[in-house]
Amino acid sequence: MGDPTRFVEGDRAGFGPGPGGARGQSSGVGGTHPAPLAAPYTRPMNSGSGRNREAGAGPPLALAVLESKLGPVHVAASPEGIHGLELRTTPEAFAAAVARRTGRPTQQIADADGATRAMVHRLEVELVEHLAGARQAFDLPIVLEGVGDWDRRVLEGVRTIQCGATASYGEVARRIGSPGAARAVGGAVGRNPVGLLIPCHRVIAGDGTLGGFGGSWFGSRAELLELKRALLAVEGVTLRS
């Protein structure tokens, strides 16, 4: 993937073809795909505060823009892990959202320390592998800051949905002990600050259709649902329209 120090805010890091490998098994067409309670999709999330920190209370987070076959991937990182990941946004909007949520200043990745640049480089490699169908689970640590208790509960539930499986909003609500809270689950999923790493694209409507996707990401509903469909297709999942 090259020298990780070359990432610069607004630049595109090279995303060449990933290595080959077995794709996650398809779960068939239509309906809610079984989502077994197994090993989490990513490593355990670090214990970030459930409330926003005061501005400047922590060290700056480094921002990078990686290139993928699905478009630019905007990342906020530190030596501890990944603090933010979005697809359909701009560098300016992403930086503002990260600073508002975490209460931290941000900086360009070129100004970050070596450990942070290495963390972003690891993400680049794992994204290439995942989008090539060669990696089912990300090994990067996630750090959630400025995320409330309810959203954290929901995101922990979403993380139990394995690659190649889906679960409805209602099913996620039942998993976390709040049956009947499907709409509230949908709201929390839409606020997911680390898309892909916490796989909100695997949460679908109860009738087996795509449901929603992207939260505040830019783009029309149709464009965001096409992105969700593409992410599921990488994992071998096809849903009816």
| Active-site residue list | 200
Report which of 14, 11, 17, 117 is spatially closest to residue 65, judged by C-alpha positions: 11
Report which of 125, 68, 65 is spatially closest to residue 98, judged by C-alpha positions: 65
Q: β-pairing, 203-204 with 61-68? A: unpaired
Write the single-letter amino acid at 125: V
Distance CA 181, CA 81 (A): 30
Query: For the packed helices 149-158 and 182-190, what is the interaxial angle rounded to 10 degrees?
Result: 90
207 in Cβ contact with 195 (< 8 Å)? no
Q: CA-based Rg of the chain, rounded to a whole angstrom?
A: 17
CA distances from 127 to 13, 68, 85, 135, 176 (A): 12, 8, 12, 8, 28
